[in-house]
Structure 1
Amino acid sequence: MTSADLLTDAFDRIRDVVHQAVRDLSPEELAYRVDPHANSIAWLVWHLTRIQDDHVADVAGTEQAWTAAGWADRFALPFPPGDTGYGHSADDVAGVTADADLLLGYHDATHERTVAYVGKLTDEDLPRVVDRRWNPPVTLGVRLVSVVSDDLQHAGQAAFLRGVVDRRSVSGQ
């Protein structure tokens, strides 16, 4: 197995969890928050996809799917196009609403671009420094692992919330 195969597998796993968490939910269920300061499935999936799109486009030297493919216009969120959700307030989280098709469409478009990029990487590519603002500077390999880690954590949170939403539906709450 190559590094490219390993990275592709990791991003495929994120996509699988995202689909399980979002599939067949209504916009109201996707926006459900366990309390006024908690994240929703919609926000978590939008955010993890924005991070993946932003970070992978940056290291690939391409425009993000968010702007290049018109996803920002389709979502019509009350944020600047460069917003990824980092540092969002509770009110900002509440502002992220979408239906399942929109969330999964954007995630799948980003996933497709991501695996096309990582699928071409070699072991020799991974030590390339991509961000000198940190000490030590961040390499391509570290940046991609960071995206995988962040995305898997948020996808797991969305999956947990899916379970809460499903239980609420069954209990009639």
Structure 2
Amino acid sequence: MKSADLLLDAFGRVREAVHEAVEGLSEDDLTVRVDPDANTIAWLVWHLTRVQDDHIADAFGTEQTWTADGWSGRFGLPFPEDATGFGHSSKQVAAVRASADLLLGYHDAVQARTVEHVGSVTNADLDRVVDTRWTPHVTLGVRLISVVAEGNQHVGQAAYVRGLVERR
């Protein structure tokens, strides 16, 4: 198995879990908060997708799907266009309202762009530095694993909330 195949499998698993957490839920279900300050499924999926979009675009020197394909306008969120959800307040979390189709459409578009870029990654590419703001500098390999880890963490949270929503 090549590195690219391993990475594509990891990103594909995040996509599958996103679909399992979102499909069939109403907008109201997607915005249930199990605590007044808890993250919603809609926010979690939007955030993990924004992070993937932001980090993949940055690592490969391309425009984000969010802006390039008009997803920002479709969501119509009251945030700056470059917002990814890091540091969002409880009020900002509550502002993310979207249908399952919109969330999955955006996630699938980002996944397609991810597959385009990651599918051609070689072992040597993984050592390329993509972010010098950290010590040590962040390589492509580390960045890709960090995006997969963030995606898994947040989609697991979304799946947990879905389980609670379905028990109501």
- Asked if 1:8 is matched to 2:14, the reply is no
Partner of 1:131: 131
Q: How many residue pairs get matched?
A: 168
SS of residue in 2 equivalent to 1:72: helix
Partner of 1:158: 158
Aligned amino acid, residue 2 of structure 1: K
Aligned amino acid, residue 129 of structure 1: V
Cα deviation per residue 1:41-86 (whole Å; 9 max; x = unaligned)?
0000000000000000001111000000000000000001000000
Distance 2:161 2:17 in 1: 12
5 Å-filtered alignment, 1:8-87, equals: 8-87=8-87
Cα deviation per residue 1:91-134 (whole Å; 9 max; x = unaligned)?
00000000000000000000000011100000010000111111
5 Å-filtered alignment, 1:91-170, equals: 91-168=91-168
Distance 2:136 2:63 in 1: 26
SS of residue in 1 equivalent to 2:124: coil
Distance 1:117 1:7 in 2: 11
Distance 1:113 1:55 in 2: 12
Supply the RMSD in Å over aligned alpha carbons: 0.4
Distance 2:140 2:59 in 1: 7
Q: CA deviation at 1:35?
A: 1.0
| Percent identical residues | 65
Q: CA deviation at 1:16?
A: 0.3
Runs of 5+ in structure 2 lacking a partner? none
| TM-score normalised over the length of structure 2 | 0.99
Runs of 5+ in structure 1 lacking a partner? 169-173
Instruction: Give every structure 1 segment of 4 or more consecutive aligned residues whose post-TM-superposition deviation is greater than 6 Å.
Output: none
Distance 2:133 2:60 in 1: 18
